[in-house]
Structure 1
Amino acid sequence: MKLSTTTAASVGQVGGTSVPGNQRDSAPRSNAAGGGTGSRVTSGRSAWLVAAVVVLVAACAASLAIGARGLPLSTIWEAITNFNPESGDHAVVIARIPRTVLGLLAGAALGLAGAAMQGVARNPLADPGILGLNAGAALAVVVGIYVFGVGSLTGYIWFAFIGAAAAAVVVYAIASRGRDGATPVKLALAGAALSAGLFSLMNVILVSSQDTLDRFRFWQVGSIGGRDWSVLLPALPFLAVGAVIVLASGRILNSLALGDDIARGLGQNVALSRGIIGLGIVLLCGSATALAGPIGFLGLVIPHAVRSLTGPDYRWVLPFSMISAPILLIIADVIGRVVLLPGEVPAGIMTALVGAPVFVWLIRRGKGAGL
């Protein structure tokens, strides 16, 4: 027996046991009013997406221009198109490009992962920490510093990525035990329990070694500064594969938002779908956390913010989140460069300072899934 998407959505909204209360409003609704309405909705979303791309380009230009040494846009363009190695201004622009690219990549990865994680877990408060990724990455970096004497960003990347991936595998293995498999509630509980245990182990090491604490704390706050191409390039394949997996999962996430029973009725293999999307999330979160440290709020705030423009359809939520998250991260990084001159505030701190008021505003508006 085949169920249409409209029928399934109706069942999910009417049957109190089919779809959790905090996801009924998130379930994608069909454009039953006719093709004209659907066309107008699509055109409006496309216009907002183009506007987001324009804002992202402007944020990247600001990242290249603003800092302890401000530069005009004409100098930036000249440095990119006709670089002069004897020009100090050109050297500054070239030095800022890896930082801007890292903000672009890490922000896009965290925004995509956060949106996908909220869909997989059917939890509007899900973020990259729900699967223990941040805890696994942090503990792995601490072990790398304490046991193996790792002191470079390149070394941090591989330890952080391995730790994040291992934590996700352990969480999924724990949550998969039992009759119902890896349900959203079991994933959240397993992630919270593992995070508590891993952070406790990490603190034991940090308390016993002042040198490890001194080196770890600079990575822990989250920053996109001080990186170069040797740090970025190894993570590109992981980011690319993770982005392809997650971006292709929009329809699957729409089905999962209706509840497991309805998703199965629509022909989805729920366990396999969650596993594949979870792999994409691990690749994105692990790479971004390894590159920039545990930057918070992006994966939590951005998906809620974009739903006020896109609605609950993950086919639109995912690309909007991928474009909007780096805007917030890059702008936060730019503000952090100039707010305490001659020093600067790491992007992870500024993202929390900027993201927290935005999240409160979203809650007050009542927009977004489950809010």
Structure 2
Amino acid sequence: MGDDEPKLRIICFSGRKIINTKDIHFSRRNFLKHSALGIAGFGLGLKGFEGLQWAIGADNQASPGDKSKVIAIKSGGIMRNGKPEPEAVQRMMDEGMFTLTGKKTTAEAWRAFFTPDDVVGIKINPIGGIKLSTRPEVVNAIIPGLKAAGVKENNIIIWDRFSYHLITAGYPLNKGSSGVRCYGTEPTAGYDKEIYYESFDDDYKLRQDDGARSLFSTIVTQHVTAIINVPVMKDHGIAGVTVCLKNLAFGAINNTPRFHPSPYFCDPASAEVCAHPALKDKIRLHIVDALQACFEGGPASMKTWTMWNEERLFFGTDPVAIDRVGLEIIDKKRKANNYMPVSQKAKHIATAGRIGLGVYDMNAIELVELNV
């Protein structure tokens, strides 16, 4: 078997197929070759919440053909002097999880996704500093739910690619054996040379040390068993928008500048990295921080006049549906402010829909909007 062929060991356990990700080599050409055979389709799949409910014994399973559900929880006036009220954020978090799961208690809601044996990585977006990053108040509202589900505090890891981004966004680093941990792939965790995404849909002149391969963070492959994706709703000067898919994909691998130039604009890499079994099999939940959002100048905009108080958190298991909703909201805001739409750049969302990561068609998405 050549180096560019996928090496998979499938273990049967209680009727479920589990991939030993240490044996995965995954490339762009093999993605297209093998996705029809199901190799790229392991994990939560299109109906992620349904698959997860089956896996851990939750009830209220969705029926085939149901619309993909996105929950939007709004709290008007939550932002005060550029900061949200922590108590209000906690109410939004609780209501979002109750609505998404149909459960009535915090413990039940979070147990629908996590078990006491999990090590949970909270993937944030810290590139925008204090002004335009995942807010600590949002992350702090997630932690009580995980603990209520039985996850040990030190088995919660807040992470992103670069440690210095975490610091500038207001997250103190903690690599110790007590408390919630927080650290980046660089320089702390490093990359897994055995598990990578290989693609030649790139600008070869911008390839870094690993050539056509992008290595996965060991946080993804070795440190955590489950991931919550907590991005920000904002535009992106290259990819159009960065919500669930872009935040997750380019925070999990190295050697990414090669995917940015025209004609790629981070497509198809953003979608295909999210479809890689090493990442896809660990994603349990997406919670978008849209307390403040940005329609121009992202992902690290300091233009306060292009930011607005959306005052919402979005919840779901379908990253494509959430990104499509986010794209519509951002383009509507851009139009109101006489900016061109970014949908022509954000092709990675449609690509993700085509390869089975979720629902792109707005007519097949149910947006549930609640005020608390």
Provide the TM-score with structure 1 as the length reference.
0.27
- The structure with more radius of gyration: 1
**Greater helix share, structure number:** 1
**Higher RCO, 1 vs 2 (CA within 8 Å, ≥6 residues apart):** 1
Higher strand share: 2
User: Which TM-score applies when normalising by structure 2?
Assistant: 0.27
